[in-house]
Amino acid sequence: MIRTILIDDEPLARDIVKYYLSDHAEIEIVAECGDGFEGLKAITLHKPDLIFLDIQMPKISGFEMLELVEDKPAVIFTTAFDEFAIKAFEVNAVDYLLKPIDKSRFDAAIKKLPNKLNQTENTEAVLDAAALSPAQNNRVVVKKDGVIKIIPVADINYLEADDDYVKLSTVDGSFYKNKTMAYFEQTLDAGQFIRIHRSYIINLAQVTKIELKEKDSYVVLLKSDIWLPVSKTGYVKLKAALGL
């Protein structure tokens, strides 16, 4: 028996999936959720094998919710999302169903399930690819002490590498994201965020001063009174970004 959760803010869309699943006795629906917050709680509680996940939902998107799931189940996206994301799904072999969902296409997706259960690597590849879409990079969703927080990128002072995580220093404190510095360097607006060092990316709006510390070694002062080191390469990029 394959245990599944339906996560979609449209009741009619969930009803259609339920109706189509009535022909697949091997799949049991263990929960239905109307947004990403409910979905995250249900996944943590039920630990399903599979989820049907909408992308465009209120509060947090399906992508943002999935990033917060530690043990990711197999995913079939139900979406009316842009062509860019759909290409990402195709390349990384994670299935998707375009709304309005066609019954024959739904059945074809179910037939693929035996080869797709527990393919976490593919799901991560989809999230990384989708993050390149402009619709996905204007905020960062994190979870701290069981609470989900949505951080507008403008509120980030700087980012710091910290083992397998990246620490986001913000106006409301520090938060951790299980991503790489390269990921943020690629996805954040290059006109707003500059990687000044292998361990630091800064928000240009926070820069107040650049000083020579010693020969060919610079530091930058942020509005939060934090001094950060600047590498040679970072100094060149920083000067160019500031028009110096």
Residue ranges in the chain modelled with pLDDT below 50: 91, 93
Give the closest residue to 115 by CA, choosing from 71, 159, 65, 76: 76
Distance of alpha carbon 37 from alpha carbon 127, whole angstroms: 18
pLDDT of residue 82: 63
Q: Domain segments of the chain: what residues?
A: 2-130, 138-242
Distances (CA, A) of 174 to 6, 34, 104, 151, 155: 33, 30, 48, 11, 11
Q: Do domains 2-130 and 138-242 have the same CATH topology?
A: no
Distance CA 29, CA 93 (A): 23
pLDDT at 93: 44
Query: How many Å apart are CA 206 and CA 224, to the nearest integer?
Result: 8
H helix runs in the chain, sequence order = 11-21, 36-46, 62-67, 83-91, 103-111, 120-130, 181-187, 232-242
131 DSSP 8-state letter = T
Q: Which of 154, 155, 136, 146 is nearest to 64 (CA)?
A: 136
> Domain 2-130 is classified in which CATH homologous superfamily?
Response regulator (3.40.50.2300)
Residues forming beta bridges with residue 139, ordered by sequence position? 152
Residue 110, φ and ψ in degrees, nearest 5: -65, -35
Looking at residue 81, the DSSP 8-state letter turns out to be: -
Q: How many CB atoms lie within 10 A of CB 146?
A: 7
Among 121, 113, 81, 120, smallest CA distance to 98 is for: 81
Q: Is the pTM of this model over 0.85?
A: no
Question: CA 62 to CA 47: how far, in whole Å?
Answer: 17
156: left (phi over 0), alpha (psi -120 to 50) or beta: beta
CATH number of 138-242: 2.40.50.1020
For 68-82, b/e burial (b = at least 16 CB within 10 A) is bbeebbbbbbbbebe
Sequence-distant (6+) residues with CB within 8 A of 132 are: 84, 186, 187
**Integer Cα distance of 58 and 188 in angstroms:** 22
